[in-house]
């Protein structure tokens, strides 16, 4: 009885294992191929920008291509050098002239740009490539001048790009400060979600001076009143801006601020004092390409209108491909098999010794020989294209799993049969 129980249990376990392996094998067979990195992708990069100081803008252009027969979902990447940080839109499309997207690109904060091919390459697998353009910022202090080499990484390939560097000032470099009233504005973050402005003016010339600055940003941005920074002082740094020690406590500013307008005023500033005002304006409408910020500067009642405009920097590019030619079938050269004659020969009675009439029909060739000839005829279709790059996983291990499952099922059945026979013998 105990042996019968063991045989029955073993057969049940084997059957369950076989079922599980069968389901697993079917699942693996149904698993789609995974996207692959494209080792043969190529990107060439160039720039005409020159840098003078940290955070200068560097505009770059590129040409890209991938091997023929790359697949939708396959990717290739571009890593910025440590000297640059991505600046502007972090996603963009590479479209052809009719607006079809050939590839998409996504840049992360670490400067890695990943390009992904779309379904377009399934129908246009040849000569896939195009151009791209994007903007970066020089994230470190530049060298002494001349040129510096930036190393971009495309997969495992290094692309070296020279960039001109304007060295620091060495002659007549004492900062004189602004010579006129003005305003400047720039993006304060790589994602371009907020802008920063500076109002500047020459040093005070009168014995005592009253100054009033107003800032009224246009639609698409609003003033952050917690980041309005007035600044007063006698010293300037190498960039011509007010530097420490500041005189803010000695000559405090009066600030009246709302998201649409800020007014900052000083009274009784002495001759030789420099005045600046920094204003941060977060973007409220990210769909705009251009942002405008206007204001006024009044010194001793003389008012000047100032303004600044900043454009959004956008990455973009193009792409295209060529459809694979349709193979032209070659007519078969196999000799057709003539149908055997069904006519019944008619004999003519004769009193003389009959002379057999030779048959004029051509003997029918063997149909087996015709099949063999046809089988050996080379195909007229074009040879299958060779896929370059890393092959994707296709789940080809599925049939092996099914064979194992079938074996386990057979073992389980034999064990069940043996258990049943042993039970019958014991019952007799």
pLDDT per position as a tens digit, 298-346? 999 999 999 999 999 989 999 999 998 877 776 665 555 555 555 444 4
> What is the rounded average pLDDT of the residues 3-18?
48
**Which of 168-182, 214-228, 356-370: highest mean pLDDT?**
214-228
The answer to whether 302 touches 202, Cβ cutoff 8 Å, is no
- Report the chain's mean pLDDT, rounded to a whole number: 78
pTM for this prediction: 0.64
pLDDT band at 238 (very low <50, low <70, confident <90, very high): confident
Residue 3, number of CB atoms within 10 A of its CB: 12
Tell me: pLDDT of 30 over 50: no
Token pair 């063991």 is found at 6
Q: Which residue has the tokens 């040093």?
A: 203
Report which of 195, 196, 192 is spatially closest to residue 85, judged by C-alpha positions: 192
Say yes or no to pLDDT of 256 above 70. Answer: yes
Distance between CA 406 and CA 14 in Å, rounded? 10
The values of phi and psi at residue 238, to 5°, are -65, -20
d(CA 417, CA 8): 9
What is the C-alpha separation between 388 and 36, in angstroms, rounded? 11
Q: What is the DSSP letter of 348?
A: P
Write down the pLDDT at residue 368.
34
Half-sphere CA count of 182, side-chain side, radius 13 A: 10
Q: What are phi and psi of 25, to 5 degrees?
A: -65, -40
Q: In terms of pLDDT, which residue wins out, 403 or 130? A: 130
Average pLDDT over residues 34-63: 90
pLDDT digits (tens, 9 = 90+) for 174-186: 567 889 999 999 9
Residue 42 to residue 63: CA distance in whole angstroms: 8
Q: How far apart are CA 161 and CA 134, in angstroms?
A: 15
Residue 322 pairs with which residues in a beta bridge?
A: 126
How many other C-beta atoms lie within 10 A of the C-beta of residue 41? 24
- Residue corresponding to tokens 């200068």: 56
Q: Alpha-carbon distance 353 to 371, whole Å?
A: 44
**Other beta carbons less than 10 A from residue 209's beta carbon:** 19
Residues of 309-345 as b/e, b for ≥16 C-beta within 10 angstroms?
ebebbebebbbbbeeeeeeeeeeeeeeeeeeeeeeee
């Amino acid at each position: 009885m105990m042996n019968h129980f063991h045989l029955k249990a073993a057969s049940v376990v084997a059957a369950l294992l076989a079922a599980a392996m069968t389901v697993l094998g079917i699942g693996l067979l149904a698993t789609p191929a995974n996207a692959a990195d494209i080792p043969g992708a190529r990107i060439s990069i160039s720039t005409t920008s020159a840098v003078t100081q940290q955070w200068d803008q560097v505009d770059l252009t590129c040409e890209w291509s991938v091997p023929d027969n790359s697949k939708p979902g396959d990717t290739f990447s571009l890593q910025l050098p440590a000297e640059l940080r991505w600046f502007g839109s972090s996603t963009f499309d590479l479209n052809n002239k009719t607006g079809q997207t050939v590839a998409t690109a996504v840049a992360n904060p670490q400067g890695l740009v990943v390009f992904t091919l779309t379904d377009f390459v399934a129908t246009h697998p040849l000569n896939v490539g195009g151009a791209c353009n994007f903007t970066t910022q020089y994230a470190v202090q530049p060298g002494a001048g001349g040129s510096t080499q930036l190393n971009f990484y495309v997969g495992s390939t290094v692309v070296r790009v020279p960039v001109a560097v304007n060295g620091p000032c060495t002659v007549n470099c004492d900062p004189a400060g602004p010579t006129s009233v003005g305003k400047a504005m720039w993006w304060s973050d790589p994602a371009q979600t907020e802008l920063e402005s500076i109002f500047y003016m020459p040093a005070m010339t009168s014995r005592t001076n009253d100054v009033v600055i107003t800032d009224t940003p246009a639609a698409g941005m609003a003033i952050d009143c917690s980041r309005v920074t007035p600044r007063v002082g006698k010293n300037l740094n190498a960039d011509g801006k007010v530097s420490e020690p500041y005189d803010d406590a000695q000559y405090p500013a009066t600030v009246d601020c709302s998201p649409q307008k800020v007014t900052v005023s000083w009274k009784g500033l002495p001759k030789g004092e420099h005045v600046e005002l920094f204003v941060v304006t977060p973007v409220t409408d990210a769909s705009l390409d251009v942002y405008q910020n206007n204001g006024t500067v009044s010194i001793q009642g003389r008012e000047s209108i100032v303004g600044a405009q900043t454009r959004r920097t956008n990455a973009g590019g193009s792409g295209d491909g060529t459809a694979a030619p349709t193979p032209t079938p070659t007519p078969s050269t196999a000799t057709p098999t003539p149908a055997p004659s069904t006519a019944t020969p008619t004999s003519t009675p004769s009193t003389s010794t009959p002379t057999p009439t030779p048959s004029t029909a051509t003997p029918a060739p063997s149909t087996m020989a015709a099949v063999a000839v046809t089988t050996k005829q080379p195909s007229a279709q074009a040879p299958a294209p060779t896929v370059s790059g890393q092959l994707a996983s296709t789940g080809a291990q599925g049939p092996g799993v099914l064979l194992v499952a079938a074996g386990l099922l057979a073992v389980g059945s034999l064990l069940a049969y043996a258990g049943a026979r042993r039970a019958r013998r014991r019952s007799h």
